[in-house]
Amino acid sequence: MEYVVLDTDVVSRTHKRTLPASLVRQLVGLAPAVSFVTVGELEKWAVIYSWGRARRDALEGWVGAMPRLEYNDDIAHVWGRVAGEAVRRGRPRQPNDMWIAACCLVEGLPLATLNVKDDEDFVEHHGLQLITV
């Protein structure tokens, strides 16, 4: 089975059933996975927006069933390289975007995202594969 890592925006829009149909079509037949970063970002949103227990449980039940790309030293080293090279190019990126990209690069998995501009540098300079609209 082929896996695809869902960026946090894709997880959110999928759960709300507002993901663009063109992206949904591209994801058919692929097994979704999430990074440890997305799990953290979802928890942050739940706290900021005071999600109720039912909403949190529903999302965790759905996301919790997906394989997770967890932190490890290989991912940390790739994150450091990607972050350092971005600074040297004069285009520092958001840390969470770099963590998710590092997870995908280490595991050799594509990233489904709606935030193409956040990941363009990773595609151009590091070979990250994107699935997007």
92-114 pLDDT tens trace: 999 999 999 999 999 999 999 99
Residue at 70: amino acid letter: E
Comparing 59 with 92, which gets the higher pLDDT?
Answer: 92
Is pLDDT of 59 > 90?
no
pTM of the model: 0.93
What pLDDT shows up at residue 99? 98
Give alpha helix (H) positions in 1-132: 8-15, 21-27, 36-48, 53-63, 73-88, 95-107, 116-126
Determine the CATH number of domain 3-131: 3.40.50.1010
List the chain domain ranges. Answer: 3-131
